[in-house]
A and B are shown apart, each in its own frame.
Chain A
Amino acid sequence: MLPRACQLTLLAGALAVRSAGAETRELTFERDVRPILKAHCTHCHGEEEKPKGGVDLRLRRFMDRKLESGGHVLVPGRPDESEMVLLIREGEMPKKGKKVSPEELAVIERWIAQGAKAMKPEPESLAPGMFITDGDREFWSFQPVARPAVPEAGKNPRVRTPIDAFVLAKLRGQQLDLSPDADRRTLIRRVTLDLTGLLPTPPEVEAFVADPAPDAYEKVVDRLLASSAYGERWARHWLDVAGYADSNGVTEVDSPRLHAWRYRDYVIRAFNADKPWNEFIIEQLAGDELAGATHDDAPQAIADPHKRDLLVATAFLRLGPDGTDDGAPDPKLARNQAITEEMRIVSSSLLGLTVACAQCHDHRYDPIPQSDYYRLRAIFDPAYNWEKWRPPAQRLYSLYTPEERAQADEIERQARAIEAEARAMTKTFLEEVFQKEIVKLPEEEREPYRAARATVAKERTPGQKALIRKYPAALADKSLDLYDKDAQKKVTAKTAEAAKLRATKPAEAMIMALTEVKGVVPESRVFNRGDHDQPKQRVEPGELTVLAPSEMAELKPEPLTSGSTGRRLAYARWLTSGKHPLVARVLVNRFWLHHFGRGIVSTAGDFGTLGEPPTHPELLDWLASEFMSGGWKLKPLHRLMVTSTAYRQSSRNEPSVTVDPENKLYARFMLQRLDAEALRDAMLAAAGTLNRTAFGVPVEIARDRSGRIVVGREELNTNRDVVKVISLGQDDFRRSVYVKVRRKQPLTVLDAFDAPMMQPNCEARNRTTVAPQSLLLMNDTFILDTARALATRLRQETAGDARGQIVRAWRILFSQEAREEDVSRSLVYLAEQTEAIRTYYLGTKPAKDAPPSDPQLESLASLCQVFLSSNRFLYVE
């Protein structure tokens, strides 16, 4: 007998086939044909300012217009006389892009044969561009968030929260049911790793196991939510979406972003304080406007700690890759690319739509016309202002005191004088070079050449230009190093004096922020094909048309007294007004994803037509509504989710694994591999080396001699090759969230386990299971060092008792009591391995810098390594 779920599948399939059946159902323009034309045709035929060949395919009505050739786009009832069909058949259309498939063509033909009908009356005319239909607006994620009734669950004791009622309602009638609750040891390990990214300590486990109180679990959850580790863990999820990095990316230089970490700290503090998400979003989008600050008065505003925080929050809008400080070859392009990346971050993090696709043309799948992209961008234009662009270095605000400022200014003045001197030297040297070069020319050409060189490039006669072209090397007006290395060295030495002097300035703390310049409001225009050199019609700031209710059709910002336009503040307030269809859904879906291992919408960054529909639409809406009505606070939502039966159930449920491998029905808790940071942090914590110092300047990273990126500082030789990596002491063991994030140099141990490359951000991490991860766990110095530290800890805590050490390790790493067979297997292993290592040392001298050999410790370390590499450790059950 087939599983129940499968029967349903067959039933639904049969239904679907019948409803699509050729003869039984009448095809309509809106439902059947328009989507095909939209994907293949209307880009040229309707959405451009002038439709190609005068053919506009956006409305059925327009297809009755006669063609210039005299033919007909379509003749109802006669597909073979309809030009549309003939041109597609012959492969003449579409001219560009993907061909119409035979199945799609068959639909068009059948529709015409049936009379080419539309369902509803159509407007007489349409403005040029994309036409958003009622059908588009009816898409599920554009509907207002509803508050669905919680399904009736009777007195089912498994229903601990409304979440369970929704999950059970969906499971009802399936052959699947919720699994029994996970045991307490499993549960505390799961929830501790989930909420804090760290392992529960053995005493925490024992206390929970022994706690007879009915709310024992709830107390654990509250303790975890109150711990500082919670913010460090959950901030990381938001930092992924926000695209946080400590470098600028884009170019080879990948220049450091020295002050981004204050934003990271702001986020961690916001999570720990359970800052309501409406405030959190408003601050990140418009903290400067809240603080009443513009570019000109931001330096004063940051004297106030609260306003300073608000400004730090706006770094969210400066997190994308930005090459404009690093000599990108086309500066205008680089600026617009930087803005594009920011728009991508804003739209994917908050709207969950691939809005960026509409930068160059109307979105092919979602109802987002290109003009909407630029309306959305216009909200941010006064702050970015690409034509009066401020590169990253000019968007920093100093925390200097006036005295420090004066001192620094004086040093700067002196340094500039030195640089001026260096420039004068260059000029003199080049002149000397020229005197040598000129004599290489034939006598009669020297004087004319001198004259040509002395003339400003623009004013040179054709003859002079030709002469210079003939002897390009003699010009010697730049590139001194290529002519005279020694002279260049002197100049370089001079310039170095300035750098040395500058290094004596008092250390300057800065914040990175986004602001507008008072009174400067650039015009926003649509860029034809996304090209900033082809500006088209003007646009006013506004929300995407399909998301905006009539009263939000235009964003009407109240001008702020500070001189800022108020556009971002108005937009942020709309996003968090409770009426926005996407923001709360997108957010709660991500929270759910991190707890349960898959989103209710599994495409967390795409709630559009190419995304997956929600598995539990009513639950998603209920959670979104609950989140907003609870004041946008996350901690209560966490509590709701992790105290649900859906979360507390066991991960072991074979029918569920077999029938529903992706766990779309939640008949079990989904087994999840530790993510990169949790893996590293949990290992360090288990070894007892984790340094819980919070906040501040990121921990340095270095490339070691075998090419690995590790924590530490590089010692370089004169060739700039790494000689060795110098330990940072205790800082080697900080939590991963505090380790520097270089876009081009991810920490090897994190990179191997799918920590994202921020290009520009990460909507959902990949989960790979590949051999290099295994090689790393088998042989990498990080794991070897950590295993040795754990072995040392065990030996200190349970000296001379191998059995005790094994039992202890099992408790630390797995929160479990070791079974006798595990212990005895381990003991046999230890005995054999100690002997093998002892034998090894008999025949080998240890390396000079190696610690003295200790076969017993090394064998215990090798056992710890097995534990750390095992699935029991790497997965959360």
Chain B
Amino acid sequence: MNPTRLCSRRHFLHANGFGLGSLALAWLLRRDGLLAAPMKPHVDGPLRFDLLPKPPHFAPKAKAMISLFMMGGPSQMDLFDPKPMLTKYDGQVFPGEIKYDNLAQASAKVFGSPWTFTPRGECGMELSELLPKLGEVADDITLIRSMHSGVNNHAQALYAINNGRILRGRPALGSWLTYGLGSETQELPAYMVLAHPAGLPTFDAEHYTNGWLPALYQGTLIRPTEPRILNLDPPAALAGQPQARQLELLKSFNESHLATHPGELDLQARIASYELAAKMQTAAKEALDISNEPGSIKKLYGIDDPKTRDYATRCLIARRLIERGVRFVQVLNSGQSWDHHGSLISALPKNCIAVDQPSAALLTDLKQRGLLDTTVVHWGGEMGRLPVLQNDVGRDKCGRDHNTYGFSQWVAGGGFKRGHVHGETDEWGQHAVKDVVHHYDWHATLLQCFGLDHTRLTYTRNGLNASLTDGQDARVVQEILA
């Protein structure tokens, strides 16, 4: 306890305690933790929160995270999870039950992957020919083939994987991390989200909502084009020296005002927040400006190629933000561009081309800078796809319907194993059957990497402790941790 501060409850005891019954006294003492009592969450008045770095529960492996989110449901049997049975029975009637989402285009025909899989890296991880560059870094990733959330709608599936439960309105993963750990930089927002030029993914702000956590932990949306942050730019006529002059005058007024209110932390914090905002105008600009990156790096990511330019730029920005102490960066796609109900054969390769090289380059680049050990990189969406055809009107038109009972994602760095494959789906790739990783297991494991116990990272709400895993039967998946 800080000895210069008044501890009012004990003061209350002194002033009033002797006048109350012994029962009330015992109750008050219990509340002080002086007698045995259930743990009491901290609640005291209008709370104040900040983004200063906070110690985790135990020694962390990871300090930052980049999430490459693929809304729509990338097809696991065409990218990550080879299924010879599908090839063998291609075009024949699927023998089991299938839950379709789109009945008009439903078909019971098995759809063998049009693409071939080969073992990649020293680990021999089998990956699709659609992800050649990922294959080059296969020895750095853990591939999870047994993800499961169990709700076939995009919305609920997104909430599960991104916000912890299938319910709307809960804080996103990045909010929990910044709430728990604060930020390593005070010049940039702790949690940043990089939007796609074609627009936000479906359910837009739900991707980076702070839910009921304080607004401080909301993801700051970075626009896909300049200006990437709102209100970073002063009005044209005030840019530069004129605004500096403005802020200088503001500071002098605020300081002389503070002098008449010594010790007022709020006033100090407000002065500091202008300083951060002013720094952000330059720091965020600097962080978001890739023009001084060497040509070799730009080439590595694929910024020189129109097909990969946008995603490469955003992956590179993500690295620059992490490097500067940002805790959590999410790189978004638009709409649900991985939702291939049709034209899978032509559309999926296009999606892959856009992200494959940049994603792999991100790993290579982080590794060569020694950042991969402390940075978790995640690649995945909210669901996967079915083993059967959808839209049976010719091979070029067909696709696959939703599947949340078994899908794949990969993760690298920050304490995860390298060159490792975890879990299996059944022989058709429809259901996760071995070493199933539920969305909440994934979250518990991820928090573990950050030195956080998922049962202890809580926020007091309505008098109760709410958490990311929220009492679901979550398990830390030790098998994927190095």
User: CB distance A665 to B258 under 8 Å?
Assistant: no
User: CB distance A759 to B273 under 8 Å?
Assistant: no
Asked if A51 lies at the interface with its beta carbon under 8 angstroms from chain B, I say no
Asked if B294 lies at the interface with its beta carbon under 8 angstroms from chain A, I say no
The answer, among A38, A482, A768, A841, for a CB contact under 8 Å with B214, is A768
What B residues does A867 contact at CB under 8 A?
253
Within B206-265, which residues are at the interface with A (CB < 8 Å)? 212, 214-216, 220-221, 223, 230-238, 241-243, 245-247, 249-250, 252-254, 256-258, 260-265
The answer, among B11, B23, B278, for a CB contact under 8 Å with A135, is B23
Within B38-77, which residues are at the interface with A (CB < 8 Å)? 38-41, 43-49
Asked if B105 lies at the interface with its beta carbon under 8 angstroms from chain A, I say yes
The answer, among A613, A658, A766, for a CB contact under 8 Å with B4, is A658
CB distance from B28 to the nearest CB of A (A): 7
Encoded as 1 (CB less than 8 Å from any A CB) or 0, chain B from 1 to 38 comes to 10111111111111111000101111111111011111
The interface stretch among A216-224, A679-687, A775-783 is A775-783
User: CB distance B463 to A357 under 8 Å?
Assistant: yes
Residue of A nearest to B261 (CB): A652
User: CB distance B30 to A35 under 8 Å?
Assistant: yes
User: CB distance B107 to A472 under 8 Å?
Assistant: yes
User: CB distance A35 to B462 under 8 Å?
Assistant: no
User: CB distance A654 to B263 under 8 Å?
Assistant: yes
User: CB distance A769 to B266 under 8 Å?
Assistant: yes
Encoded as 1 (CB less than 8 Å from any B CB) or 0, chain A from 325 to 367 comes to 0000100000000000000100000000010110000001100
Query: Given A170-B15, A476-B104, A769-B273, A708 and B169 touching (CB < 8 A)?
Result: no
Residue of A nearest to B471 (CB): A97
User: CB distance B46 to A478 under 8 Å?
Assistant: no
Asked if B365 lies at the interface with its beta carbon under 8 angstroms from chain A, I say no
Asked if A203 lies at the interface with its beta carbon under 8 angstroms from chain B, I say no
What B residues does A665 contact at CB under 8 A?
6, 8
User: CB distance A615 to B169 under 8 Å?
Assistant: no
CB distance from B248 to the nearest CB of A (A): 9
CB distance from A851 to the nearest CB of B (A): 12
Asked if A389 lies at the interface with its beta carbon under 8 angstroms from chain B, I say no
What B residues does A779 contact at CB under 8 A?
231-235
The answer, among B106, B230, B267, for a CB contact under 8 Å with A473, is B106
User: CB distance A479 to B103 under 8 Å?
Assistant: yes
User: CB distance A8 to B265 under 8 Å?
Assistant: no
Q: Report the separation of the CA atoms of residues A6 and B2 in the bound assembly, to the nearest whole angstrom.
A: 10
What B residues does A251 contact at CB under 8 A?
168
Q: Report the separation of the CA atoms of residues A8 and B14 in the bound assembly, to the nearest whole angstrom.
A: 7
Encoded as 1 (CB less than 8 Å from any B CB) or 0, chain A from 527 to 558 comes to 00000000000000000000000000000000
User: CB distance B40 to A610 under 8 Å?
Assistant: yes
* Total number of A residues with any Cβ neighbor in B under 8 Å: 130
- Our count of residue pairs bridging A and B at CB distance below 8 angstroms stands at 305
Asked if B89 lies at the interface with its beta carbon under 8 angstroms from chain A, I say no
User: CB distance B253 to A870 under 8 Å?
Assistant: yes
What A residues does B48 contact at CB under 8 A?
767-769
Asked if A107 lies at the interface with its beta carbon under 8 angstroms from chain B, I say yes
Asked if A561 lies at the interface with its beta carbon under 8 angstroms from chain B, I say no
CB distance from B388 to the nearest CB of A (A): 10
CB distance from B471 to the nearest CB of A (A): 9
Q: Which of A8, A135, A867 has the largest number of chain B CB atoms within 10 A? A: A8
The answer, among A31, A32, A651, A784, for a CB contact under 8 Å with B261, is A651
Q: Which of B32, B105, B249 has the largest number of chain A CB atoms within 10 A? A: B249
Q: Which of B214, B233, B237 has the largest number of chain A CB atoms within 10 A? A: B237
User: CB distance B16 to A769 under 8 Å?
Assistant: no
Q: Report the separation of the CA atoms of residues A11 and B246 in the bound assembly, to the nearest whole angstrom.
A: 51
Asked if B307 lies at the interface with its beta carbon under 8 angstroms from chain A, I say no
Q: Which of A472, A657, A825 has the largest number of chain B CB atoms within 10 A? A: A472
User: CB distance A479 to B270 under 8 Å?
Assistant: no
User: CB distance B8 to A615 under 8 Å?
Assistant: yes
CB distance from B357 to the nearest CB of A (A): 29
Asked if A603 lies at the interface with its beta carbon under 8 angstroms from chain B, I say yes
What A residues does B256 contact at CB under 8 A?
822
CB distance from B408 to the nearest CB of A (A): 26
CB distance from A547 to the nearest CB of B (A): 17
Query: Given A5-B11, A659-B4, A608 and B463 touching (CB < 8 A)?
Result: yes
User: CB distance B231 to A35 under 8 Å?
Assistant: no
Encoded as 1 (CB less than 8 Å from any B CB) or 0, chain A from 1 to 29 comes to 01101101101110111011000000000
Q: Report the separation of the CA atoms of residues A832 and B10 in the bound assembly, to the nearest whole angstrom.
A: 56
User: CB distance A2 to B14 under 8 Å?
Assistant: no
What B residues does A403 contact at CB under 8 A?
none
What B residues does A840 contact at CB under 8 A?
236-237, 242
Query: Given A138-B23, A473-B107, A833 and B245 touching (CB < 8 A)?
Result: yes
Asked if A227 lies at the interface with its beta carbon under 8 angstroms from chain B, I say no
Residue of A nearest to B262 (CB): A654
User: CB distance B236 to A774 under 8 Å?
Assistant: no
What A residues does B4 contact at CB under 8 A?
3, 6, 658-659
Asked if B277 lies at the interface with its beta carbon under 8 angstroms from chain A, I say yes
Encoded as 1 (CB less than 8 Å from any B CB) or 0, chain A from 602 to 634 comes to 110010111111010100000000000000000
Asked if B108 lies at the interface with its beta carbon under 8 angstroms from chain A, I say yes
CB distance from A763 to the nearest CB of B (A): 9
Q: Report the separation of the CA atoms of residues A707 and B90 in the bound assembly, to the nearest whole angstrom.
A: 47
User: CB distance A871 to B107 under 8 Å?
Assistant: no
User: CB distance A8 to B277 under 8 Å?
Assistant: no
Asked if B276 lies at the interface with its beta carbon under 8 angstroms from chain A, I say yes
CB distance from A434 to the nearest CB of B (A): 12
User: CB distance A766 to B47 under 8 Å?
Assistant: yes
Asked if A764 lies at the interface with its beta carbon under 8 angstroms from chain B, I say yes
Query: Given A138-B23, A354-B463, A770-B273, A870 and B236 touching (CB < 8 A)?
Result: no
Asked if B269 lies at the interface with its beta carbon under 8 angstroms from chain A, I say yes
User: CB distance B10 to A8 under 8 Å?
Assistant: yes
The answer, among A12, A612, A853, for a CB contact under 8 Å with B10, is A12
User: CB distance A775 to B462 under 8 Å?
Assistant: no
User: CB distance A871 to B254 under 8 Å?
Assistant: yes
What B residues does A15 contact at CB under 8 A?
13
CB distance from B157 to the nearest CB of A (A): 13
The answer, among B44, B100, B233, B260, for a CB contact under 8 Å with A472, is B100
User: CB distance B249 to A826 under 8 Å?
Assistant: yes
Q: Report the separation of the CA atoms of residues A670 and B194 in the bound assembly, to the nearest whole angstrom.
A: 40
The interface stretch among A98-106, A189-197, A238-246 is A98-106
CB distance from B367 to the nearest CB of A (A): 32
Residue of A nearest to B205 (CB): A744
Q: Report the separation of the CA atoms of residues A651 and B102 in the bound assembly, to the nearest whole angstrom.
A: 65
Residue of A nearest to B390 (CB): A473
Asked if B280 lies at the interface with its beta carbon under 8 angstroms from chain A, I say yes
Asked if B155 lies at the interface with its beta carbon under 8 angstroms from chain A, I say yes
Within A139-197, which residues are at the interface with B (CB < 8 Å)? 139-140, 170
What B residues does A11 contact at CB under 8 A?
14
Encoded as 1 (CB less than 8 Å from any A CB) or 0, chain B from 372 to 408 comes to 0000000000000000000110000000000000000
Give 9 nearest A-B pairs by CB, closest first: A107-B36, A774-B277, A39-B38, A472-B106, A482-B104, A12-B10, A602-B45, A657-B263, A479-B104
**Extra contacts besides A475-B103, A661-B263, A779-B232 (7): CB < 8 Å:** A9-B7, A35-B38, A470-B108, A657-B261, A658-B4, A836-B241, A872-B253
A residues touching B (Cβ–Cβ < 8 Å)?
2-3, 5-6, 8-9, 11-13, 15-17, 19-20, 31-33, 35-36, 38-40, 98, 101, 103-104, 106-108, 135, 138-140, 170, 250-252, 329, 344, 354, 356-357, 364-365, 469-473, 475-476, 478-479, 482-483, 598-599, 602-603, 606, 608-613, 615, 617, 651-652, 654, 657-662, 664-665, 671, 673, 706-708, 744, 751, 754, 759, 764-776, 778-780, 784, 822, 825-826, 829, 832-833, 836-837, 840-841, 844, 853, 858, 862-863, 865-867, 869-872, 874-875, 877
Q: What are 28 A-B residue pairs whose CB atoms fall within 8 Å in the complex? A: A3-B4, A6-B3, A19-B25, A19-B34, A20-B29, A138-B23, A329-B153, A354-B463, A472-B103, A472-B108, A483-B104, A610-B40, A612-B44, A615-B12, A657-B264, A707-B221, A707-B223, A766-B46, A767-B46, A768-B214, A774-B276, A778-B231, A779-B234, A826-B249, A832-B245, A870-B257, A871-B257, A872-B257
